[in-house]
Structure 1
């Protein structure tokens, strides 16, 4: 696993937490805990930017937003709900309503007084400029992985112009930062490309294989926290840990974006990492329909790569997916390659968006590249059984498979195949990686 710095002692205990990794909370418990915890916070007369995830996160958002609305009613002067897209596609009114719990076009009936918007990362006017973190600080936070480049910090102006930025969302093992949540909802959730590219590339240099599920303050989280320190508003958080494959919760933690995250991170690591005794030769990773392209659906690879044997295969099965990424066409140019492929040809790739380079390495997995011979060797085969055309899949250096040829029942009966339904939620590792 990658190096980390320890979460400060007692930080998690500063959040108001209910539940645990072996607990499944009732809706009433969730409601009452959120209302009570927010009631004790200084929110009267404050304007609030309420930051929520997009539909690529599996979490029962209506059951969280309703008690938040109750707790803020009559206290907050204004509430603007902003969907932290990162660089994902914008949510339509219909999709936002389904995910957040209101009838499209009638949000006022469910959440009176609240306004709902997407993080419009493609518009310059979306952002507030919070200055530059010097290169020497970036070098320190990244444990020396980036040494000569400062980091320009811009963030959605809503979290700057309001008194409070209140994050509400899940915490899960994550390929870039280790454990998601907390300040990650600002960076990359509401940020511009510099922080996204630099933090993702640091994660890629460490590798998803090593990073994913790592507890503590990883180099990437250190960069994210440094950027978040520049946000002037008060940063509060409702961090939840979901029960995988359901709409129930293991826990709810309410505090700051650091204390609530710290409390939830340990629970997420205990509930969302499954350890296998030995490697598997082949994985059939069945993606849910909430992943609309490979950019988001690649989580079905990230969370299974660690248990695949050398020379093995991961099949991403998603007949509903028709494209690599609408928002990131640059991936069609560079394709999917391992980390060393880029590092050893850095002059060729250094000006390509680093976030796309990072995603490319995360999906291709571990491997090597010989700069003298031009030979790339990858640890596992990545196969797409989707509706993406064969020529496009092979052009980006992945293997194609006709989804009609996938026999789930037969693969489940095959002792050499590990079939995972609803892939992308739970991280699988080997016991000797614990």
Structure 2
């Protein structure tokens, strides 16, 4: 058994923040970029420690939620995310503004430059050769320092999340988002998740290099119970590099054999399939050929608030379903197509017949009719006794009580 990975106490966390290089923040207008509520993170504690250490030194400090294309958060939700109560809002944080990213407002985006066809061909190892405009939230123009505060986990599109991913797609425009999500889909979740050096990460870093502002990041590695295992400060590249190494130790679980059935329980923070799909992404490597992955989410009633209509139009399919009928699908936003392939997983499409490697079943508030229409299985969540799936690994049955953040892989 490997030694347990140490955790930080609250006192140790505050001591770590006290050692941040204050000279980086003196007289700076700072935009703090944070995740939304779909990530496990002790943000109230981390934000409080950061605020009290750097606010006395900087000129201003505002916060932007790196939504990507997730739904916007209300002022009350953002305050809760940061651990700010109403009395504190007026007393301590009255000068601090909070923003949602607005990816779908062209007037809120600024173009930083373009990745050329030659650049994208090189970055993608020849998979895609396109000219891609790089846009980002225009509010960055009002600040001197862009400071990311966010966790690192294995990720289905980029390999490991965090770092410059908080700029793209976190506060980026749709063209670069759609480009690298489809690039990740072409490589496949199975091949890319939990891998550090990926073509998608190289695209994200190249796009971030176009930002004409100082970039810094505080990255961290956290367990599903919010225990903190590591904090790292530096450039987004260096802080991410250290955190992803630790995430690989904390967030990857090895299994000796594949499972014929997996009950993958979505936590309440995954309230639409757009994010609950992580319950498939992280488990796909350990589901046996022909096995079943059940996304158990009785609380979930939405496919996607933002993209639901398009997903219902397209459905969930394996990669080759799209690539072998490209003229039919090329005008659908590529980020939607990528999500579709990630939830459906690997498989083939030959002679008009789709053969997914894994059966994906939804046990949620999404109706059986809708599940049939989007090409996923349905099961009434009321018929599932979660405990009946427990302790049955030897039978080929696996229960994951809080799915979506730990990556399960087979032993080499």
- Which band: TM-score by shorter chain? over 0.9
Q: Is the 8 A contact 1:365 1:380 kept in 2?
A: yes
Q: 2:98 aligns with which of 105, 116, 127?
A: 116
What residue number does 1:385 align with? 363
Q: 1:97 to 1:218 in 2, by over 3 A?
A: same
What residue number does 1:291 align with? 270
Runs of 4+ in structure 1 displaced over 3 angstroms? 108-112
3-state SS, counterpart of residue 258 of structure 1 = helix
Find the aligned partners of 1:161 and 1:115 in 2 and give their Cα distance. Answer: 12
Q: 1:228 aligns with which of 175, 193, 208?
A: 208
Q: 2:119 aligns with which of 137, 140, 148?
A: 137
What residue number does 1:12 align with? none
What residue number does 1:407 align with? 385
Find the aligned partners of 1:230 and 1:81 in 2 and give their Cα distance. Answer: 21
What residue number does 2:54 align with? 72
Q: CA RMSD in A?
A: 1.4
Structure 2, unmatched stretches of 5+, are none
Deviation at 1:425, TM superposition (A): 1.3
Q: 1:218 to 1:105 in 2, by over 3 A?
A: farther
Find the aligned partners of 1:430 and 1:199 in 2 and give their Cα distance. Answer: 27
Q: 1:227 to 1:402 in 2, by over 3 A?
A: same
Q: Is the 8 A contact 1:240 1:251 kept in 2?
A: yes
Find the aligned partners of 1:86 and 1:105 in 2 and give their Cα distance. Answer: 30
Deviation at 1:247, TM superposition (A): 1.9
The 5 Å alignment of 1:100-249 reads 100-103=82-85, 107-147=89-129, 149-215=130-196, 217-243=197-223, 245-249=224-228
How many residue pairs get aligned? The number is 407
TM-score, normalisation: structure 1: 0.91
Find the aligned partners of 1:247 and 1:269 in 2 and give their Cα distance. Answer: 17
What residue number does 1:397 align with? 375
Q: Is the 8 A contact 1:130 1:155 kept in 2?
A: yes
Q: Deviations over 1:387-429 (max 9, x none)?
A: 0111011100000000001111212254331000110111000
TM-score, normalisation: structure 2: 0.96
Please say if 1:421 is aligned against 2:404: no
Find the aligned partners of 2:139 and 2:31 in 1 and give their Cα distance. Answer: 6
What residue number does 1:37 align with? 20
Deviation at 1:384, TM superposition (A): 0.1
The 5 Å alignment of 1:272-311 reads 272-311=251-290
Deviation at 1:94, TM superposition (A): 2.4
3-state SS, counterpart of residue 8 of structure 2 = coil
3-state SS, counterpart of residue 88 of structure 1 = coil
Deviation at 1:82, TM superposition (A): 0.1
Deviation at 1:159, TM superposition (A): 2.5
Q: 1:339 aligns with which of 314, 319, 335?
A: 319
Find the aligned partners of 2:101 and 2:88 in 1 and give their Cα distance. Answer: 20
Deviation at 1:111, TM superposition (A): 3.5
Q: Is the 8 A contact 2:64 2:98 kept in 1?
A: yes
3-state SS, counterpart of residue 24 of structure 1 = coil
Deviation at 1:347, TM superposition (A): 1.1
Q: Deviations over 1:68-106 (max 9, x none)?
A: 111222221111100000000011222222221012585
Q: 2:235 aligns with which of 227, 243, 256?
A: 256
Q: 1:121 to 1:338 in 2, by over 3 A?
A: same
3-state SS, counterpart of residue 20 of structure 2 = helix
Deviation at 1:36, TM superposition (A): 1.1
3-state SS, counterpart of residue 294 of structure 2 = strand
